[in-house]
């Protein structure tokens, strides 16, 4: 059960040393946010804004973060969504779901940053993404492979 039901936001340059419960601190200069875990455990939760991590939406009054906040490394293992300042509890994930998401995240980062994803021996190789429509069409027109 989430102790914090709503997060007010504060735009700051630097995230403060002590986080006040119920406040989502947002640093645009450092493209990150931080808040005290909404379950009430007091742990610091950091969500960086990058093309492969979280996206922040500010509608002029409230803030939303996507995707959900999954605190899998914390003892509480809380999971919630921040939608227009409201904290919406999400269901728990199994260890298998968490590991599958971590693999997906590693692959997304590797693809975005132009590296080949590292595949661990115990995990199956992920299929290579099929080139998009325009790339395939250009390949046909230009005769160059994609």
User: For 59, how many CA atoms within 13 A lie in the half-sphere containing its CB?
Assistant: 8
Give the sheet arrangement for strand 23-27, strand by strand: 8-11, 23-27, 32-36, 44-48
Whose CA is closest to 102, among 70, 56, 65? 70
Residue 94, classified by CB atoms within 10 Å of its CB into exposed (0-12), middle (13-18) or buried (19+), is: exposed
Q: Give the pLDDT confidence score for residue 145 in this predicted structure.
A: 66
* DSSP-based three-state secondary structure for 82: strand
Q: Give the pLDDT confidence score for residue 16 in this predicted structure.
A: 97
Phi, psi of 133, deg, nearest 5: -55, -50
pTM assigned to the model: 0.77
Q: Give the pLDDT confidence score for residue 24 in this predicted structure.
A: 98
Q: Give the pLDDT confidence score for residue 129 in this predicted structure.
A: 57
Q: Give the pLDDT confidence score for residue 124 in this predicted structure.
A: 55
Per-10-residue mean pLDDT of the chain, 146 residues long, equals 95 97 97 98 97 96 97 96 97 94 92 73 55 69 66
């Amino acid at each position: 059960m989430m102790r914090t039901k709503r997060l007010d936001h504060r735009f700051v340059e630097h995230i403060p040393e002590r986080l006040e419960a119920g406040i989502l601190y947002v640093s645009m200069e450092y493209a990150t946010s931080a808040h005290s875990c909404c379950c009430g455990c007091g742990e610091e939760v950091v969500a960086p804004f990058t093309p492969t991590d979280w996206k922040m939406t500010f509608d002029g009054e409230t803030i939303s973060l996507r995707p959900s906040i999954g605190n899998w490394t914390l003892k509480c293992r809380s999971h919630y969504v921040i939608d227009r300042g409201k904290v919406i509890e999400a269901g728990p994930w199994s260890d298998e779901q968490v590991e599958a998401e971590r693999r997906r995240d590693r692959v997304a980062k590797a693809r975005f940053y132009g590296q080949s994803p590292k595949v661990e021996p115990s995990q199956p190789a992920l299929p290579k993404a099929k080139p998009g429509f325009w790339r395939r069409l250009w390949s046909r027109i230009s005769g160059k492979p994609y």
